[in-house]
Amino acid sequence: DIQMTQSPSTLSASVGDRVTITCRASQSISSWLAWYQQKPGKAPKLLIYKASSLESGVPSRFSGSGSGTEFTLTISSLQPDDFATYYCQQYNNYPVTFGQGTKLEIK
Amino acid sequence: EVQLVESGGGLVKPGGSLRLSCAASGFTFSSYSMNWVRQAPGKGLEWVSSISGTLGYINYPDSLKGRFIISRDNAKNSLYLQMNSLRAEDTAVYFCARDQASGGTGWPFDYWGQGTLVTVSS
């Protein structure tokens, strides 16, 4: 199974900050990586797919990059609505696996 | 509008069984692979199973093979998860989710239901 490791596990930031979350795969997954945002009590929301493609309706302050085994999610200017938990997911092969999550907190 | 609505969760004793359902609307259900993902209380996301639209391709993680069975009824626009020999560690919110692209398998999940809580406890 492909292991997905996110860092950091928790990130404290302020509105307007630029933040980056990293996701590493235990083996190459090409660009078959997605990022999700989840708020408490809600379903995850797809933000980025194929490592860098923005899902329809997602604000352009979200961007993704990387390929192979190292990927990043960047939020260019944090908004109050962005404080949530973020997960990466590889869909290169089964079993589909998720990172452990990064909780983005208000500083 | 795409909608996915799960049902069937509840309290079940260890060793018991439960069948979850997911009613889909707003898209051509048979064209999309569908998935179950679970989330234990306070924990991360765990993929449970996937089933293709019409060809019957099914996948599970090794940890759940033999206990969980995914199925679908395209005539009823419904997805199911039969869970047997339930354990305390199966306690979680179970989400159904649609593959982003029609045809084939192995896409990210673009629409999710609200989830249904399964609690395994004596």
Distances (CA, A) of A65 to A24, A51, A104, B9, B99: 12, 6, 19, 38, 22
CA distance A53 to chain B (A): 12
So what's the pLDDT on residue B55?
86
Q: What is the pLDDT of residue A88?
A: 98
Nearest to A55 among B47, B110, B113 (CB): B110
A78 contacts A14 by C-beta, under 8 angstroms: yes
- Which amino acid appears at position A97 of this protein? T
Q: Tokens at residue A72, please?
A: 């990043």
What's the pLDDT score for residue B101? 87
Numbers of helices and strands, H then E, in chain A: 0, 11
Q: Cα–chain-centroid distance for residue B96?
A: 5
- Minimal Cα distance from B6: which residue of A? A43
User: Is a pLDDT exceeding 90 seen at residue B98?
Assistant: yes
Q: Would you call B27 an interface residue with chain A, using a CB distance cutoff of 8 Å?
A: no
Q: Is B88 helix (H, G, I), strand (E, B) or coil?
A: helix
Subunit contact A95:B61, Cβ cutoff 8 A: yes
Q: What is the pLDDT of residue B56?
A: 82
Pick the closest to residue B97 from B83, B80, B78, B111 (CA basis): B111
Both tokens assigned to A87 = 């997960």
